[in-house]
Chains A and B, each alone.
Chain A
Amino acid sequence: MGTSVQVTPLCGVFNENPLSYLVSIDGFNFLIDCGWNDHFDPSLLQPLSKVASTIDAVLLSHSDTLHLGALPYAVKQFGLNAPVFSTEPVNRLGLLTMYDQFLSRRQVSDFELFTLDDIDSAFQNVTRLTYSQNYHLSGKGEGIVIAPHMAGHLLGGTVWKITKDGEDVIYAVDYNRRKEKHLNGTVLESFVRPAVLITDAYNALNNQPPRQQREIFQDTISKTLKAGGNVLLPVDTAGRVLELILILEDYWAEHSLNYPIYFLTYVASSTIDYVKSFLEWMGDAIAKSFETSRDNAFLLNHITLLINKSELDNAPDGPKVVLASMASLEAGFSHDIFVEWASDVKNLVLFTERGQFGTLARLLQADPPPKAVKVTMSTRVPLVGEELIAYEEEQNRLKKEEALKASLIKEEESKASHGPDNDLNDPMIVDTNNAHAPLDVVDPHGGGFRDIFIDGFVPPSTSVAPMFPFYDNTSEWDDFGEVINPDDYVIKDEDMDQAAMNVSVHLEICDFSLANFTLHLVGNSVHRDAFCMYRELSSFGGNVDGKLDEAAASLILDTKPSKVVSNELTVQVKCLLIYMDYEGRADGRSIKTILAHVAPLKLVLVHGSAEATEHLKQHCLKHVCPHVFTPQIEETIDVTSDLCAYKVQLSEKLMSNVLCKKLGDYEIAWVDAEVGKTESDMLSLLPISTPAPPHKSVLVGDLKMADFKPFLSSKGIQVEFAGGGALRCGEYITIRKVGQAGQKGGGSGPQQIVIEGPLCEDYYKIRDYLYSQFYLL
């Protein structure tokens, strides 16, 4: 029997909810994608929470929220600690997407599902793979090979191929067949006859209009601008927006337009900086232009990168284009800008992707669009007056309590451990620590002198009289010197916190850099957003891998105590609303073509509205393969292939007598062999000792009438297509195919070809030509 394969959807079947599926291969559990939607509704993750602890590996396919949004939450709340695999761009851009999501949310609500820290820790341990890299799992997954392949759609987007014992399980959602400006099309079509294909039905009912649309897109924008209106494109943080940026750049350059374009997200400049170094992952055109002229397509000439809205507000008046996140209009800059601009008839809001279900964007994409929408405007305002005082008092109280508690614990610890663990509190050691990290401008007292700052001092409970803490330096020595514990030298987050509290220099730095994102650094033409500042800060803090540490992260948002003020308002939607499909997903037609080409032995359909799923299921049952599965949430389906297989060794003796015929990539031959055993107890095939039993002859080949016709005419035979796909050769002879023509894959048997005609020389000649198209075995 083949490899056992089970699929359990955890989210995102029969609807457009985020994607998350559990695929178990011979007992090894893959979580493929870990998505969330823009509402961050924890109830969606219910099924995931139940299985999170059993997961052995996580594979991420795209860098948007729908594919990886729940990762930080799951890692934090559900104890999902399996290794995560993704491509470099998915990892990097996914991180930025989550930052943007968090910051957008945090600005308008007390968002507490996860913190920047959780995002960092979730993305920190991702194993990054390149396309077509065969990664061999070890341990429990021994024998399983995973490989990401190009999916198109988003930069770094992945079609996952999981192979065990020569059987492929392919997971392909949101792929794009078309080549775009910055991406090549998917390589999904290069896989044939995988054992299982898991794919989405999201776009099964949509058909893309032909390419001319692109011109309309740019024309619509420039028309609005010429009429003095503003254009808002609600976009994602780091996904499809890259394609839009290139389209606009090109159009602006071509038509020498001067209207400003702004790209506004909390992480806009970081995004573009990273994207600039991802050329390896982009399409041929971009790679080629860089190789020959070193023109990096993402050195933008017409687009200004902004990271806060005040910059946009300060921009000169006049028509402009703004690309702002989020695409759903639920939060982020796009939300605010929409509210501002919606009531002006001159303005245009251009959607380039279908809004997530139940979001403002989706509401506005309805036909006809609503005349007015209710929105909640929320802003974070600093606390003032009494509130501030109350807050500070509360904070102080809390801090004191904590400090007291911490010092108590410290005391306990130091008392309990007279071993080398105490080294942390030895000033000498702190000095060495400092010398090791000369960049460490955060006060060196970070760890060492903590206890000196205790309010009052607490006598150890064991001592008879109050005394200053005394530490016996009882470090152990061995042949190499003092025995140390490396952990003692790591500056811990809580230490950082302490440092931040106590050291005024540090606070100043933070204040200066983080003043609620209003900082705008323009230095040597390098535009940096606040994020990079935190990074610098955190690397000063000895945190070399660029991870945000808790102190810095919480300081960003909490330097000034603030609260969220919300008010409901109704916005009259007078501006023009247009939806154009720039999702970069394969449309219904190409999905069907690709599926027919890939022709999996078993097909699992996920992610798509109920109608789309049902439609595609019916289509595939008819044209692709007889085994189509559409599981419900938490329904485990078994797609273990019923394939029988065993391995044999081909003996030298047998192979030296086999003559292979070449047919495209394949070489084929008929073998008659006798089964024997090798020394290592393997089955082996030996030449047959008795005369081989005769077998039914097999014609191998694929006759295409359209190709056969020119072939015949090149041989000097008059040939034309008669009705019904029959080929009329010479005067009397006809060749035609019978049976379901044009169908490929599992449902079809051998081709049936009929040649008929009267007895004449031509008949035999044409029959010979027909035979020449096949290999006879």
Chain B
Amino acid sequence: MASMGQPPSLKRRDAPPVSREGDQLTITPLGAGNEVGRSCVYMSYKGKTILFDCGIHPAYSGMAALPYFDEIDPSIIDVLLITHFHLDHAASLPYFLEKTTFKGRVFMTHATKAIYKLLLTDYVKVSKVSVEDMLFDEQDINRSMDKIEVLDFHQTVEVNGIKFWCYTAGHVLGAAMFMVDIAGVRVLYTGDYSREEDRHLRAAELPQFSPDICIIESTYGVQLHQSRHIREKRFTDVIHTTISQGGRVLIPAFALGRAQELLLILDEYWSNHPELHNIPIYYASPLAKKCMAVYQTYILSMNERIRNQFANSNPFKFKHISPLNSIEDFSDVGPSVVMASPSGLQSGLSRQLFDIWCSDKKNACVIPGYVVVGTLAKTIISEPKEVTLMNGLTAPLNMQVHYISFSAHADYAQTSTFLRELMPPNIILVHGESHEMGRLKTKLMTEFADCNTKIITPKNCQSVEMYFNSEKMAKTIGRLAEKTPEVGETVSGILVKKGFTYQIMAPDDLHIFSQLSTANITQRITIPYSGAFGVIKYRLEQIYESVESSTDEESAVPTLRVHDRVTLKQDSEKHISMHWTSDPINDMVSDSIVALVLNISREMPKVVVESEAMKSEEESRKKMEKVIHALLVSLFGDVKLGENGKLVIRVDGNVAHLDKQSGDVESKNEGLKERVRLAYQRIQSAVKPIPLSAA
């Protein structure tokens, strides 16, 4: 089913190209293709377009940090789904909503929306770039808030026939994995996810249904995490050892998400170790302080453990941790533990403290999560001898650097188990450094070798195209379905399509099974006419086969009924009235009657020759042949009269013989044969009189 530019399967070759285009599913990473950062994945299928995530790249600034939005037309996107509040997944949203032609709908979870605003407002304040480089300002964020709609986990939402819902993803508070269903084809976008339950978050759920395509993160590639308890122990041990030796511990961490988990660990550790109570823990983030209200509210999005604790006291009211607003408020006397942002040590408080503490070997720096390439934090993991300080000077790096990953991304074990449970036929890897991703792909390939799974690692802007042979199923209901038809019988009715569901029903049932209604329009016009009513009748009889005359029961005026369709009444001496129910044939009949009546009143009565009728039959046949010939010429060009009255049609060296009587066509070229046959059939039905039996 999946391919990257491969020819579609043989079965589809005969399908008309129009429908093939509709069945093509395109997935294009606009960001996070073979990289980490600026997540943004574009997907389109059956004319519906979805964008997953809208992040920025933390290592770049200004326009360069954006995903490749210029590859797509934002105005055609129906739905934009944001998985979680991290900058690399949500931070270009204000730009996309306010500065592009996007006019679709945006969805995220409640918790994500609440934190999104705080986080981006902070981001705008903190990022010290020139005004031209500013992608958006605070007002853009506030305006974007009105456009963002919220959804709850598992809640199914339908927009323009696109159905989607989300599952818990672990990772951070409010993080979601989106399952999108377009016409029965399901795509799962995991965003960042973790299958391991921690202190406050639930593990990512395993969706009920297997998706056709799984777009999955590959941040940790083939690495394996240590178990949570070992990591926690290493973390607390490093801190305990350092402070007992009189050192300071710096934990550069992003303000939200994992930081809350680390604080829960520290708070609990301190509670259990009274000897540490005189060592202060600082948490240097006013932003996190603000977000605490969100953490204290959306308890329902967290795991059972927290929910049970919540019944007693709010676990997010820390007992041993105090906030720290800036480095000026910090008195650096003796051992302490400071958690500060940013996590990459690019600038800000974490960098200021790093610069002060890096040359003392008693101190320690614990890097608690994934660090993006190009940041200082990434550099010091490889423990260089020297580092460059913010003021440009170099200093020896003596402090101990520990890398203990708490970042809630899936590792290889989780990824492969997850995929094995889901068994998606197509896997698209995003959100991973290119070589990590490559190794993951290779390893997954071997693991899934026996199950015909396609694993694709597109680069940014590189489209993945797949074809889905979606069967369109319709439900025939109501009167039309009273009897299930046998093969060969015909079914005629109204096909009603809503979203991607089809129903076939009789016109009379339309108002029962849909909100649509049908109407009958009765028309009544009066025509001035002062002649005798009998003349009209006579004329009508000449044209129409069935003209019945009677008298109206109520008003006792003479009436004429033409083919049971149009009724003429002589309302008064000067007027006749005509009424009928609208439909194309009736309208035509009535028009002809109007013309006829008007003609009668304009002309004097004439003597009509009866015998003409006989002769005209021969004439009309000849006339008809002429018309047919002319029409065929206009269609095919070279049309000649051949032997035994057959027409010979030549098109591009192909020859077709058409028998005018039977409509049979002979030709070596199947395509031409079919075209000529169809054309002749249509010409004939156009030239011949309309059958009146229609009712």
Contact = CB atoms under 8 A, between A and B. Distances in A.
A502 interface: no
Contacts of A660: 495, 497
Given A646-B481, A650-B473, A685-B474, A279 B512 contact: no
A750 B300 contact: no
A526 B313 CA distance: 8
Interface stretch (A128-136, A580-588, A710-718): A128-136
Interface stretch (A465-473, A555-563, A686-694): A686-694
B487 A677 contact: yes
Contact of A691 (B117, B494, B524, B685): B685
B615 interface: no
A212 interface: no
Interface in A264-292: 273, 276-280, 287, 290-292
A168 interface: no
Contact of A646 (B16, B475, B519, B579): B475
A627 to B, nearest CB: 12
A497 to B, nearest CB: 23
Interface string A692-723: 11111111111100000000000000000000
Nearest to B291: A294
B525 A669 contact: no
A280 B294 CA distance: 12
A193 B114 contact: no
Contact of A133 (B165, B474, B478, B522): B165
Nearest to A130: B152
B492 A749 contact: no
B349 to A, nearest CB: 23
A668 interface: yes
Contacts of A227: none
B290 interface: yes
A660 B488 CA distance: 24
Interface in A736-776: 746, 748-759, 763, 767, 770-771, 774, 776
Interface string B459-471: 0000000000001
B348 to A, nearest CB: 23
B694 A545 contact: no
B113 interface: yes
A666 interface: yes
Interface residues of B, number: 97
A291 B150 CA distance: 11
A647 B152 contact: no
Contacts of A749: 508, 511
Given A696-B583, A753-B520, A649 B473 contact: yes
Contact of B490 (A601, A669, A688): A688
A697 B486 CA distance: 26
A337 interface: no
Contact of A755 (B496, B499, B522, B681): B522
Contact of B155 (A130, A291, A669, A691): A130
A192 B514 CA distance: 8
Nearest to B115: A291
A751 to B, nearest CB: 4
A647 B473 contact: yes
A131 B507 contact: no
B523 A671 contact: no
B157 A287 contact: no
A322 B557 CA distance: 81
Interface in B3-37: 15-16, 18-19
B495 A646 contact: no
Contact of B492 (A545, A665, A695): A695
A278 B300 contact: yes
B594 interface: yes
A644 B477 contact: yes
Interface centre among B479, B487, B515, by most chain A C-beta atoms within 10 angstroms, is B515
A276 B293 CA distance: 11
A672 B485 CA distance: 13
Contacts of B156: 132-134, 147
B490 A673 contact: yes
A472 to B, nearest CB: 36
A315 interface: no
A758 to B, nearest CB: 5
A671 B298 contact: no
A700 B489 CA distance: 26
B474 A650 contact: yes
Contacts of A774: 519, 521
Given A545-B308, A652-B15, A671-B504, A755 B487 contact: no
B145 interface: yes
A166 B281 CA distance: 58
A402 interface: no
Given A290-B297, A656-B19, A676 B477 contact: no
A429 interface: no
B484 A683 contact: yes
Interface stretch (A36-44, A326-334, A383-391, A532-540): A532-540
A130 to B, nearest CB: 4
A683 B520 contact: no
B181 to A, nearest CB: 11
Contacts of A753: 519-522
B516 A667 contact: no
Nearest to B681: A691
Contacts of B15: 652
A658 interface: yes
B498 interface: yes
A746 B168 CA distance: 42
Contacts of B298: 277, 279-280
A135 B28 CA distance: 32
Contact of B524 (A653, A658, A670, A755): A755
Nearest to A648: B474
A236 interface: no
B662 to A, nearest CB: 15
Contact of B478 (A88, A643, A658, A777): A643
B334 interface: no
Contact of A683 (B152, B485, B525, B685): B485
Nearest to B576: A759
B304 interface: yes
Contacts of B525: 756-759, 763
A675 interface: yes
Given A277-B300, A756-B523, A644 B482 contact: yes
Contacts of A754: 521-524
Contact of A649 (B150, B472, B527): B472
Given A193-B513, A668-B516, A776-B584, A696 B694 contact: yes
Given A130-B153, A777-B494, A674 B518 contact: no
A14 B471 CA distance: 48
Interface string B136-162: 000000100100001011111100000
A674 B527 contact: no
A546 interface: yes
Contact of B476 (A132, A645, A697): A645
A672 B497 contact: no
Interface in B84-120: 110, 113-114, 117
B208 interface: yes
Nearest to B582: A699
B695 interface: yes
29 contacts: A132-B155, A133-B165, A278-B300, A532-B312, A535-B311, A536-B312, A539-B308, A539-B311, A546-B308, A648-B491, A649-B473, A666-B496, A666-B497, A666-B516, A668-B494, A668-B497, A683-B487, A685-B474, A685-B491, A693-B492, A694-B693, A695-B694, A696-B695, A699-B519, A700-B518, A700-B519, A750-B520, A758-B525, A759-B525
Closest 5 CB pairs of A and B: A694-B694, A133-B154, A756-B524, A751-B519, A650-B472
Given A291-B110, A672-B491, A696-B583, 18 more contacts: A130-B152, A130-B155, A134-B165, A278-B300, A280-B150, A287-B150, A291-B114, A291-B117, A294-B293, A650-B502, A652-B19, A655-B472, A656-B19, A683-B484, A750-B518, A754-B523, A757-B524, A757-B525
